Amino acid sequence: MQKPATQPYWSVDPEIAGQIGPGSQLDTSVHPPKVDYLVYAVDNWSGDDIVQTFPCMLVTPRLAKALESAGLSGARATNIGVRVAYDSDSRIPKGMKPDFWRLNVTGSVGRDDFGLTTDSRLVVSGRALEFLQGFSCTGSVIEPFKISPSA
């Protein structure tokens, strides 16, 4: 669903297409857990270019490459430290086996184009939302986000 990007900031809750799989390396002594290596076990992918599994955001290589030249702040994608796993029960579009890159969000909510709230929700600027709307994100819940001091 296309949302007008006139709102300054938006909460983007991507579809959950899988989960952290066996072989992932996490430090659970901190919150959110620090993920050093992710095996993304795909369960049910609709074809979206941005997906998630707590505490990771992932994007398709197509979106990752476009992000490199988009001039947006607060996020970069890397294909380092991710392996995508499928099993015979995975529900994905026929003939598609996606690859995903980690979306490393380092920006601050309300200052950068991409940021994470203290409870790990993705918040993007209107400019970043317009960028994301050039890709498939039909499974994402996108809502206006009000900036507050505790974001």
Q: How far apart (Å, rounded) are the C-alpha atoms in residues 16 and 43?
A: 9
pLDDT attached to residue 113 = 97
What pLDDT does residue 81 have? 72
pLDDT value for 44? 84
- What is the model's pLDDT at position 46? 86
Q: What is the pLDDT of residue 43?
A: 83
pTM of the model: 0.86
What is each CA distance from 124 to 52, 88, 108, 110, in whole angstroms?
Answer: 15, 35, 10, 8
Least Cα distance to 75 among 8, 35, 123, 119 occurs for 123
Q: Which residue has the tokens 């490459």?
A: 65
Q: Tens digit of pLDDT for each residue in 105-125?
A: 999 999 999 999 988 999 999
Positions of the chain with pLDDT under 70: 1-6, 86-95, 149-151
pLDDT of residue 93: 65
